[in-house]
Structures are given as structure tokens and as C-alpha cells.
Structure 1
Amino acid sequence: MANFEEDWNRLDLSQVRDRGSKKWVAMMLPEHVKMLRDYNEEIKKVARPDLNEFDYEAIQEQIELAMKRNVEIKIKRWKEGEFLYNRGTIQWIDLTKRTIEVEDPFRCFELKIDEIVDVTILE
């Protein structure tokens, strides 16, 4: 019995090259495969962070400070169940459209204020 335990402890499972779910796809209907893919995408989604008044104030202060200093920032956004990150300098804030215009070395783009969950100044 001890010999079996020693062999089991020395077993290196990283060398096993299994095909994973590929071997089962041939036996499944296309509808089932689509449902499994949709399910996998759904469980990867993250719930929107619940921000309070202090969080919004901190975000606003960081944006104002970055705009005054004209420094690069990292913006963390939540959109459709996932976090997206952008870097650049703030060029303009449009409160009527509720957007921020950000410029990075390659382009200018607009971000919705309502999607922003965190702002970090990069110096």
C-alpha cells in the first residue's frame, strides 16, 4: 500500500495531454454546443461594483486633478459584465452627453462617465 502512495505522489499530471471538451463535441448537437458556449460566457461576467457617494467623489477628484495637471490616467470601466481599462490624458468633459474625451498616443476617444468605476493617476 505504501508503494502505491509513493507512486501516486510522484505522478506528474502536467504531462497528460488531454483533448478536454473537444472529444465530446462530436457527440453533441450544435444547439448543445452553443448553449455550453453561452453558459461559459455568462459565468465569466462580473457584477457591476456597487459604488457609494465617497467612491464617486474620489473618482471626480482624480479626474479634476488629472485634467488640471494634464497627466496620464488609467480608467477602469465596467461594461456588459466585464472590466475594461483605458489609458490616456483627459482632453474634455462633456456633461450634457455625460462623456469624457481621452487621448492616448494613437487616437482620441470618448468614454461614458456612467461606466467609470475607478480612476488612477499615473505619474
Structure 2
Amino acid sequence: MNHDFYEDEPIFDLSRLQDRGSKKWVAMMLPEHVALLRQYSEEIKREPKPELDEWDYDAIQHTLDAAIKSKADTKIKRWKNGEFIYNRGTVESVNLLKREIELKDPFYLLSLKLDEIVDVTIME
């Protein structure tokens, strides 16, 4: 028996198979289960808050002082609600009573909480 014609054409073309992933299971789940699964996937994406020590806070303070004096373009990395947020602009002032800094970017003036800041970098 000659099966040469099967060698040229695959029987099943797996590249055309498209799996719907988790969509096919959602229809069989209760809305409460779907909500819990979505909440769980959001929690997995969260970043843990970095533990800063005295040296880190001292470095942040010195960099903020230099940024205010030089009016240099500064990048500030903040941690809020499980994610890192980056802001860039010039540091206008630091208010220790309110524990906030004012950062001016090209569009508006931001008030950022000092407790959220995890890193400050002067851009050159």
C-alpha cells in the first residue's frame, strides 16, 4: 500500500487551531467565581512594597535637595497600591509638614506623598 500522498499534506493543521483559553469555562462558572478569579489575577500582578532602610531614605533626601537647587529634570519612582508609578519633572518644593513634594511637569503641578517615594533620579 502506498501512502506517499499523506507525507505532503498534514492530516491536522495544528497552526490553525485556536484555543479560546479561559473563555470557554467562564460560561459554566458562577459570577462569584469569575469575580474571585479576576481579583486573584489582579493580586498576582501586584508588586510588593520595597523595604527601604536609613541609607535609602538618606539618598532620596540628598537627591531631592540637589534636584531643588539645580532645577534639574528629575524622575521619581513611587509605589502605590501594589504598583510602581513613575513621574518626571522639576521638583518645585518639599513640604515636610504635609509630607509632600511638588513636582512640575510640562502640563501641570503634581503633589506627591513622600511616603510613596521609593527612588529619585536626576536625569541628565
- The interval holding the TM-score normalised by the smaller chain is 0.7 to 0.9
TM norm structure 1: 0.85
User: Aligned pairs, how many?
Assistant: 111
Moved more, 71-80 or 14-23: 14-23
CA-to-aligned-CA distance 1:36-79 (integer Å, 9 cap, x gap): 00001111111111111111111111111011100111100011
Q: How does 1:2-13 map to 2 (within 5 A)?
A: none
State the match for 2:103 in structure 1: 102
Shift of 1:15: 6.3
CA-to-aligned-CA distance 1:8-44 (integer Å, 9 cap, x gap): xxxxx87653211111111111100000000011111
TM norm structure 2: 0.85
For residues 110 and 33 of structure 1, do their structure 2 counterparts lie closer, same or farther at Cα, with a shift above 3 Å needed?
same
For 1:76, the aligned partner's letter is: K
- List alignment gaps of at least 5 residues for structure 2: 1-13
State the match for 2:92 in structure 1: 91
Aligned-CA RMSD value:
1.4
How many percent identity over aligned positions?
Answer: 61
For residues 16 and 69 of structure 1, do their structure 2 counterparts lie closer, same or farther at Cα, with a shift above 3 Å needed?
farther
